[in-house]
Structure 1
Amino acid sequence: MVFVVNTELKMGVGKIAAQVGHATLALYRLLQTQSNWKEQCTKWEETTVTKIAVQGQSTHHLLELKHRAYELRLPSIIVHDAGRTQVEPGSLTVFAVFGKVADVNDITGKLKLL
């Protein structure tokens, strides 16, 4: 799993951690509902359980990445914040994607680590 954090929002470390947590759970739940990804998710759980957080430039950038994941038919989600603390309601905070390493790297491989 790779998590692209929207850095234009200037979220604090705790806020980022919470948003990535939301993304993890949402993407995992999505994988459990898609029979074609459930087996790969189980293999991921039994081996590496790799999770990587990288920097996204803006809301627009995260939406472009989401579109690319859609084109590659990779499961992905977008997290929108409720707006109770640091950011405006509905702000796009994190894009998360799952799949084979080569496919995910095609989308996120050039982004800097968070």
Structure 2
Amino acid sequence: MKQVIAARTDIGMGQGKLAAQVAHASLKAYEYADEDVKRRWKAEGQQKVVVKASGERELYAIAEEAKQRGLPSAVIEDAGRTQLEPGTPTAVAVGPAPDADVDQVTGDLSLF
């Protein structure tokens, strides 16, 4: 079981902003998982992997593919309080779900 979070590389987020957006995406996607998946993922150590997304189009393509496969996912749009304009899509999380299922959606993306 794992979760992969893809964050945009094209918008110049600072390290703190990036960390916050990844955390938001992780939690939001987790909330969409069913209770058995949540329990299993937590018991296995809550594996998370952060990868690079080239831009907004790729974020939404990842989210759409996850949705089509029935995987929990969430796109985060920034509130616009600091570095970015309100509504800027920043990250997408896929999972928690079985590794192979998540890899079908995110396996070709480079690690951050």
The TM-score range, normalised by the shorter chain, is over 0.9
Aligned to 2:105: 107
Supply the RMSD in Å over aligned alpha carbons: 1.0
C-alpha separation in 2, matches of 1:30 and 1:102: 19
C-alpha separation in 2, matches of 1:69 and 1:104: 8
More helix by share: 1
The reply on whether 1:17 has 2:19 as its aligned counterpart is yes
Contact in 1 for aligned 2:30/2:72 (Cα 8 Å) = no
- The correspondence of residues 1-114 of structure 1 with structure 2, limited to 5 A, is 1-31=3-33, 37-98=34-95, 99-114=97-112
Q: Percent identity between the aligned chains? A: 38
- How far is the alpha carbon of 1:22 from its aligned partner? 1.0
Q: What SS is found at the alignment partner of 1:29? A: helix
Between the two proteins, the alignment pairs up a number of residues equal to 109
Output one character per residue of 1:14-47: Cα deviation in whole Å (capped at 9) or x when no partner: 100011111122122222xxxxx21022011011
Gaps of 5+ in 1: 32-36
Contact in 1 for aligned 2:76/2:90 (Cα 8 Å) = yes
Contact in 1 for aligned 2:59/2:91 (Cα 8 Å) = yes
Gaps of 5+ in 2: none
Q: What SS is found at the alignment partner of 2:51? A: strand
More strand by share: 2
Normalised by the length of structure 2, the TM-score is 0.92
Matched letter for residue 29 of structure 2 = L
